[in-house]
Amino acid sequence: MITFLCWNLNRRPLQHLIAELASSRDVDLLILLECAIPVADLLGALNQGTGPIFHYAPNRAEAPEESIKIFTRFTSEFVAYFEYGARHTIRHLRLPLREDILLAALHLPSKLHSSDSSQVLACSQWAAAIALAERRAGHTRTVVVGDLNMNPFEAGVVGAGGFHATMARAEALRGQRTVAGQQYPFFYNPMWGCFGERGGTPPGTYFYDSSEHVSYYWNMFDQVLLRPSLMHRLPAEGVEIVTRAGAVSLLSPNGRPDRSVGSDHLPVLFGLEL
Amino acid sequence: MPELNEDLWPSDLGIVSIVTPAAILRAQATLLGEKTKGILEGAVETSSVGDQIRHRFVIRVPALGNYRYPLFSVHHAVDLYPVFIDEEPATPRPALMPDLSSVPGFTSLGDRLDRASGLKSEPALRDWLRQTLASDETKRIIANLYAQASGQ
């Protein structure tokens, strides 16, 4: 099983919590968003132990603050970039004796700087970029992970022209859906299973208390989407919203992300049986 | 009458445990990553030219956009040994010393000896590698790359 952890760090120097999570949760591949930690500092924290070391797999388009940084226990040639930009990187994860997959890591624009309509239109572009990468790779074994800055029920995520990510495995297994004569491939969105207060886990990955009439408080901006061809690789426990890094709680006493300890986002952890 | 599928191979094919030059170099490449906590990484790039197999030992710096610094290169034939040295870590020369390396046919005495006879065995390759990795030139290159990658 390959274990992935994705975390929007909100530009905080959280290298010691990341190292603790990487070690205690046996993470193989780290996807860090809004990561302003110098690579050397992060590698120093990650590689303090005696196990296999972490490698930095650079995203060539990295910007100083809005960058996506990927660290893996494999060397970077196994996570070669396929396509990249300031807010996304698509990697070809090719591990020996395992089925190769495409990993698309995204950090989509915040609602603070982008209207709902703009977000929907942007999703169409990201979906097209992923479809193009799939055509180049010759398969659709794709996992999308990152901070979409949208909830799973929003049009950009659900819409056929966007990510077309459904909550239902059975529907996703249809592979695609025809809308107005055009076929759109599905993603399966396991994050729906993380909504609500079940088993003491937080209802989302990001808390925002708005003064508007409609406030969800908890949002599921950090998501994992799987093409139907990868759905069976996700273990039954699905995706976990992580609330502790070893002995350190990432939540404040009121149950919200503790920005003084961690980030304003909670990490998401998942595994794939490749 | 001889059997059609008679096995004509000898019972002993002479297959022994030989450590290839590539394996020796890759082990050192891996160790560089461990010793620098992933800030520098070693890699061995192997190619073939005619019947010769060439290995280039490269230092990669992921934090500098995967910048690559070729440290040295060697080649050998299918026999594995001897291993011939093609390029060694560059030595900085005093400013007033002319750069003879650009003169056609110029090689240092050490180069001429090694290049002519090659490293004839696995222990000889290991000895040369030990000296090369511990050389002032290699240390200087590693220190410089490490400092740049660490933002020092």
- Flag whether B45 is in a domain: yes
For the ranges A87-91, A255-259, B65-69, B87-91, the lowest mean pLDDT is seen at B87-91
B38:A56 CB<8 A: yes
Interface residues on A facing B, Cβ-Cβ cutoff 8 A = 38-40, 43-44, 46-48, 53-58, 60, 75-76
Q: Is residue B138 domain-resident?
A: yes
User: Structural domain tally of chain B?
Assistant: 1
Is residue B12 included in any domain, yes or no? no
Partner A contacted by B46 (CB < 8 A): no
Q: Which residue of A has its CA nearest to B43?
A: A75
Q: Which residues of A touch B26 (CB under 8 A)?
A: none
- Interface touch B151/A44, C-beta < 8 Å: no
- What's chain A's Rg over C-alpha atoms? 18
Domain hosting A46: range is: 2-272
pLDDT at A69: 92
Predicted pLDDT at A201: 87
- Indicate which CATH number applies to the domain containing A153: 3.60.10.10
B76 part of a folded domain: yes
Where is average pLDDT lowest: A177-186, A196-205, B55-64, B84-93?
Answer: B84-93
Minimum CA–CA partner of B152 in chain A:
A40
Local confidence band at B45 (pLDDT 50, 70, 90 cut-offs): very high
Which residues of chain A does B149 touch, with a Cβ-Cβ cutoff of 8 Å? 39-40
Answer whether the bond into residue A203 is a cis peptide, omega within 30°.
no
Using CB atoms within 10 Å of the CB of residue B92, give its burial: 0 to 12 exposed, 13 to 18 middle, 19+ buried: exposed
pLDDT of residue A229: 95
Per residue in A69-98, pLDDT (tens digit) is 999 998 888 998 888 888 889 999 999 889
Those residues with Cβ within 8 angstroms of residue A3's Cβ, 6 or more apart along the chain or in another chain: A25, A26, A27, A28, A29, A269, A270, A271
Q: What is the pLDDT of residue B3?
A: 78
Q: What was the pLDDT predicted at B98?
A: 56
Asked if residue B130 belongs to a domain, the reply is: yes
* B4-13, B42-51, B124-133: the lowest-pLDDT one: B4-13
Q: Contact at 8 Å (CB) between B44 and B25?
A: yes
Residue with tokens 């992933």: B38
pLDDT at B83 (0 to 100): 95
Parts of chain A with a pLDDT under 70: 60-66
- Answer left, alpha or beta for residue B118, where phi above 0 means left and psi between -120 and 50 means alpha: left
ipTM confidence: 0.74
- Chain segment A11-24, per-residue pLDDT in tens: 999 999 999 999 99
Range of the domain at B26: 21-90+107-150
Q: pTM of the prediction?
A: 0.85
Q: Quote the minimal CA–CA distance from A61 to chain B in Å.
A: 9
CA A4 from chain centre, in angstroms, equals 9
pLDDT score at B144:
94
Mean pLDDT, residues B1-17: 83
Instruction: Specify the number of domains making up chain A.
Output: 1
The answer to whether residue B7 sits within a structural domain is no
